[in-house]
Chains A and B, each alone.
Chain A
């Protein structure tokens, strides 16, 4: 079974630009979550999508947005990039059924975004 795939692996952007990251979950997984990982702040939750609807949202500004398609693939977008957006962005999928609290997250290898 293929794992979670994130593309691209690396991105270099300039302040003020926008960026779109892509995530393909494990087949059959309907929940996709996004996290930002930095040395200073650790792992921070951005948002979670389930069946094309945003079900949970972390404490990030509106420049960070996402969506999920009918095939469960997800994209996240960051507009007007700032230097502080440089981070590893991780996507995770899970089964997210009624007993989802027992279901672990399956992470991709992330997209390393550098903003200059």
Chain B
């Protein structure tokens, strides 16, 4: 079956530091890949997505590149802000599948001033 593995958190950074959150996946076919973010007290919201190999998704300064050879979709940001403090979820969804995405367990990010 499909699976998504994320690095465990919390990830604690100072403001303006570089962020990487690792995500690797296992899928039987050619999935679409997503990053969702959950701010305190809210539901998840889509941050970015990529639908084929070598695609780069980007939004709000965050980027992730679909790497089929390493089955990875790592999230990066060059300079984090306190307002980026949230939980980040990596997910995949597969064509011909059950329409239900597979989510990772989430990685908490804490950014200090």
> Hey, which bits of chain A sit against chain B, CB under 8 A?
4, 6, 31, 33, 42-43, 45, 48, 50, 55-56, 90, 92, 94, 96, 99-102, 104-110
> Do B97 and A101 touch (CB < 8 A)?
yes
Known: A107-B44, A107-B45, A109-B41. A102 touches B100 (CB 8 A): no
> Do A42 and B100 touch (CB < 8 A)?
no
A4-B101 Cα distance, complex, nearest whole Å: 18
> Do A102 and B41 touch (CB < 8 A)?
no
A101-B82 Cα distance, complex, nearest whole Å: 33
A99-B94 Cα distance, complex, nearest whole Å: 10
A106-B42 Cα distance, complex, nearest whole Å: 12
CB neighbours (8 Å) of A50 from chain B are 99
- Interface contacts (Cβ under 8 Å), in number, total 62
> Do A101 and B31 touch (CB < 8 A)?
yes
Q: Is B32 an interface residue (CB 8 A)?
A: yes
Smallest CB gap from B92: residue in A: A101
